[in-house]
Amino acid sequence: MKLTLKFFASVREQLGTGHETIDLPSDIETVGQLREFLARRGGAWTETLGQPALRTAFNHTMCGADARLTDEGEVAFFPPVTGG
C-alpha cells in the first residue's frame, strides 16, 4: 500500500520533514499500526509519534487509531494545538 504522509507544525520540526511517500508492508492496516510502524524508526520518530496527544487525519478527516487505511491515501500528523 502506498501512502502520502504529511507532518505539520512542531511534528514537522521534530522529524525534520514535512512529507514523504511510503510503501507499507501488507500487515499495516490502520492509522494506529502506521504510527507504531513509523515510531519503530527510533530517535525523534519514537519520541514524536509516541506523544499521546498527537492528532491524525486520514484523507482530510480527523480520525483515531482504528481508522482503516486505503491505498493512495493521505495521513496527516499534527500537534493538538495549531495556530495561525
Grid cell in block for residue 50: 509516541
Is residue 81 predicted with pLDDT exceeding 80? no
Q: Cα-flanking dihedrals φ and ψ of residue 49, to 5°?
A: -80, -10
Q: Is the pTM of this model over 0.85?
A: yes
Tens-digit pLDDT profile for residues 32-67: 999 999 999 999 999 999 998 999 999 999 999 999
Residue holding cell 511510503? 22
Residue ranges of the domains in the chain? 2-78
E strands of the chain, at which residues? 2-7, 19-23, 55-58, 61-63, 74-78
Return the CATH superfamily for domain 2-78: Beta-grasp domain (3.10.20.30)
Tens-digit pLDDT profile for residues 2-22: 999 999 999 999 999 999 999
